[in-house]
Amino acid sequence: MSKEIKRMSEIEIIDARVRDAIKKAASNGIVDFITIIARANPGLIWTHDVATTVFKNAITCREAKVFSLIYGLGDKEALANFVDKETRTTMLHMVGEVPSTQVINLIPGSALQMQRELQWFKEVESFAGQAIEIENQSQQKPRDVFTDRHETMMSNGERWMKETSQSCTIVGALIVTIMFTAAFTVPGGNNQDSGYPIFSKKILFKIFIFSDAISLFSSTTSVLTFLGILTSRYTEDDFLSSLPTKMIIGLCTLILSLLTMMIAFCAALSIMFRAKLWIVIPVASFASIPVVLFLWIQSRPLRQMIMSTFGPSIFDRKVKPWLYDILK
């Protein structure tokens, strides 16, 4: 297509609906198609109107790779500040709109969806300049549009955070109670003369004590972290980093406490039934089931939350200049 476009006249390009294909490529995240056609005929694509439409389509469909092409242009601020004559909207106003259900449902959980929407808004806002203060036909600034359109998503995210925190707080508090009690009821009992545990010099006993202590401390941390989530203000910006970070810490420490609790249980069992492997091995195997089950349930949202909060940005700000600046 790029070879044919070089030979085509303007009328043939219009008949072939090449510009429509470019806009659809932007909506579907096909970066190579856009860049190759642009290099073949820069004037075909990068008129100001078409260029703005390409990036607006990328925003509407939340195609971060296509939108990152804007960093390879020398006049991204002009594109961000371009005002549509009919609707008085800018690129930042479009970011404030909620994408289609098909697009937003690719991200699990309302809290993560809200975080991703904030990442998009903050990214465009970083170079939008005067567009931050421009009002649309409804006399709404971009931030007002974002707040108004994302009210339901924010409410759902808050409810998901609170329900998850409440459930995990109950589990964490139960583990705290168990491990605190276990520290004073050591396996084998205490020596009546010295008061020290009978098996204090055995390796398995040391494993039991260390596991018990780690489980107690991590579960306490988990409970306090989830209480911090429950008492948060739940402002929009909290969903960007603060709340996801607390949720990650809470879930990771809860998983650690559950794992070390099972290790402490297996160590205590091994002390009491040292020579009876036919009892120890099956019970120890079953002890891993709760940990594996919890990891399986929480692995996807936890992994997504970690990558979305601490992973690399979905935008590539280091895109090299890939086209001459002809927008001026």
Which DSSP state fits 320?
Answer: P
Q: Where are the alpha helices (DSSP H) in 81-195?
A: 91-95, 101-104, 110-125, 142-149, 151-182
* One domain, residues 1 and 135: no
Among left, alpha and beta (phi > 0; psi -120 to 50; other), residue 198 is alpha
pLDDT for the residue numbered 48:
62
Least confident of 1-5, 42-46, 121-125, 178-182: 42-46
Is residue 163 a contact partner of residue 182, using CB atoms and an 8 Å limit?
no
Which pLDDT belongs to residue 326? 41
Q: Which helix (H) or strand (E) holds 57?
A: helix 48-60
Q: Both 201 and 124 in a single domain?
A: no
pLDDT attached to residue 38: 80
Q: Which of 51-60, 184-193, 230-239 is most confident?
A: 230-239
Where is the domain boundary, 47, 74, 101? 74
Let me know whether 40 and 115 are in one domain: no
Same domain assignment for residues 187 and 292: yes
Q: How far apart are CA 110 and CA 160, in angstroms?
A: 7
Q: Residue range 10-26: average pLDDT?
A: 84
Mean pLDDT, rounded, of the chain: 85
User: Quick check: 57 and 19 in contact, CB under 8 A?
Assistant: no
Residue 175 is predicted with a pLDDT of 93
pLDDT at residue 221 tops 70: yes
Could you tell me what percent of the chain has a pLDDT over 90?
37
CA 115 → CA 164, 239, 276, distances in Å? 17, 5, 52
pLDDT in tens, 240-265: 999 999 999 999 999 999 999 988 88
pLDDT recorded at residue 328: 42
Do 125 and 223 belong to one domain? no
Residues 46 and 137 in one domain: no
Looking at the fold, whether 117 and 214 belong to one and the same domain comes out as: no
Residues 137/87, Cβ–Cβ less than 8 Å: yes
Of 98-102, 116-120, 319-323, least confident by mean pLDDT is: 319-323
Q: What is the pLDDT of residues 124-151, one digit of tens each?
A: 998 888 888 888 888 899 999 999 999 9
What SS3 state is found at 69? helix
State residue 199's pLDDT score: 65
Provide the number of structural domains found in the chain. 3
Q: Where in the sequence is the domain holding 203, given as residue range(s)? A: 153-310
